[in-house]
Amino acid sequence: MTTTKSRLLILVTSVWVIAAAALAARVAFAWDQQRKIPHQVLASVPFDQETGNIALALWQGNGFGNVFRKPTGPTAWLAPVYPVLLFAVFKVFGAMTLASFFAAVLLNAVFSAAATFPLFAVGRRVGGLGVATATGWAWAVLPAGVLMPFEWIWDTPLSVLLVAGLLWLTLRVAESPGVAEWIAYGLLWAVALLTNPAIGVGLPFLVGWAMARAQVSGHVSWVRPALAVAVTVLCCMPWTVRNYRQFHRVIPVRSSLPFELWIGNNDIFDPHAVHGIQRITRYEETHRYSELGENGYLQEKREKALAFIRQNPALFLRLTLRRVLATWAGSEHPYDNFVQTDSTLVRVVLVLNVVLTLGTVTAIVLLFARKNVFAFPVAVFPLLYPMIYYLTHASLRYRHPIDPLLVLLTVFAVACCFRGPASLGARQADPS
């Protein structure tokens, strides 16, 4: 009996078993959903967005461009990594085919499930094996994590893996004198920036913490962190140079921020606007983009968004607060949505958002109160990553890259209730 229990414990606490379960959950959901949707729809509709359009342009030999599936030429609307990955899928399985859709979903599911490995390692450092195990299993079955790889062919699941991986490697390099690990750290930051530039909000804080921690521990001087940053910059430089040559202005990674800012801050939200827009249509915006070109179109959106903010400071503040609520609760009106919906899944997601938010806040307070050495790096992404969406427009999809960390912090907070914060102090370096 003891042997059986020991084997069961080994299986339950195995990160490989947890990751396999996470992958199985995502694949099972995708398989169930694809049976309910016409396959001709799956072969085209999921790719009918910017990522799919750029990947199609690459497949057709038109370069990284045609962001709205019109012959508008080169674009810097998106970061390059995920569209290029999708282009590779098209090369193997054909463009806009059911096989390509299945391959893209499987790739997303692998990215999402693979985040279990760095998440487990961080959880073990911060709270021990119990916290790591509970975090891994919670992430494996979290509805958002299970749904996202199928629901949206975008860089979101890859961003999940990168955020978790960067946090794990930050903790690791802070205790490592090895040059190779610091170079790998710089490379991972470069991949993250070229996938989702919003992740870069954590770069100065995490690199700065790792450097300070390493110096206190006597492992390294400032040279290795500087080398990591140099590697990141050098890896991103070719894309920045390409953008400058195409658009004759400095675009470090992507150009679409003015559009995103305008989407969330325009006259459609102002009931007193005399000639305000009544609705935003894809046809009209695509036509305007084609007419002005990318530079002109984004300059126009920047000017309109900033003018709206200057003229409506009180409304902008209200919109920002609504976006903060939507980011963390999943809706600008979570209570009304909970009462009115007939969907059990929607209610579960809304409740989980409240739980994750409260758990995250509680855990961050406890970590800092107890002077846990990992409090600062663990809190960086949850506190800073959503800020860009507070200013532009919010969605649970946008928050999703930090969801594994919210799960970790919530598990930590719950563990403190049962074990006491003192028993969950900072862990020393371990092989993970």
78-110 per-position pLDDT tens digit: 999 999 999 999 999 999 999 999 999 999 999
pLDDT in tens, 297-350: 999 999 999 999 999 999 999 999 999 999 999 888 888 889 898 889 889 999
- Taking 50 as the threshold, does the pLDDT of residue 430 lie above it? no
Q: Tell me, what's the pLDDT at 420?
A: 61
Whose tokens are 């750029």? That residue is: 54
219/221: higher pLDDT:
221
pTM higher than the cut 0.85: yes
pLDDT band at 429 (very low <50, low <70, confident <90, very high): very low
Q: Tell me, what's the pLDDT at 10?
A: 83
On whether residue 430 sits in a domain, the answer given is no
SS (H, E, C) the chain: CHHHHHHHHHHHCCHHHHHHHHHHHHHHHHHHHHCCCCHHHHCCHHHCCHHHHHHHHHHCCCCCECCCCCCCCECCCCCCHHHHHHHHHHHHHCCCCHHHHHHHHHHHHHHHHHCHHHHHHHHHHHHCHHHHHHHHHHHHHCHHHHHHHHHCCCCHHHHHHHHHHHHHHHHHHCCCCCHHHHHHHHHHHHHHHCCCHHHHHHHHHHHHHHHHHHHHHCCCCCHHHHHHHHHHHHHHHHHHHHHHHHHCCCCCCCCCHHHHHHHHCCHHHCCCCCCCCCCCCHHHHHHHHHHHHHHHHHHHHHHHHHHHHHHCHHHHHHHHHHHHHHHHHCCCCHHHHHHHCCCHHHHHHHHHHHHHHHHHHHHHHHHHHCCCCCHHHHHHHHHHCCHHHHHCCCCHHHHHHHHHHHHHHHHHHHHHHHHCHHHHCCCCCCCC
- Taking 90 as the threshold, does the pLDDT of residue 222 lie above it? no
Please state the rounded mean pLDDT for residues 213-241.
89
273/61: higher pLDDT:
61
Q: Tell me, what's the pLDDT at 1?
A: 58
pLDDT band at 431 (very low <50, low <70, confident <90, very high): very low
pLDDT band at 351 (very low <50, low <70, confident <90, very high): very high
- Taking 60 as the threshold, does the pLDDT of residue 403 lie above it? yes
On whether residue 35 sits in a domain, the answer given is yes
pLDDT in tens, 125-158: 999 999 999 999 999 999 999 999 999 999 999 9
- Taking 70 as the threshold, does the pLDDT of residue 187 lie above it? yes
On whether residue 382 sits in a domain, the answer given is yes
On whether residue 432 sits in a domain, the answer given is no
In terms of residue numbers, what domain contains 80? Answer: 2-423
On whether residue 431 sits in a domain, the answer given is no
On whether residue 104 sits in a domain, the answer given is yes
- Taking 70 as the threshold, does the pLDDT of residue 370 lie above it? yes
- Taking 70 as the threshold, does the pLDDT of residue 432 lie above it? no
On whether residue 65 sits in a domain, the answer given is yes
Q: Tell me, what's the pLDDT at 215?
A: 81
Per the structure block, which two tokens stand in for 183? 């170079």
On whether residue 292 sits in a domain, the answer given is yes
Mean pLDDT (the chain) is 92
Considering its fold, how many domains does the chain have in total? 1
pLDDT band at 270 (very low <50, low <70, confident <90, very high): confident
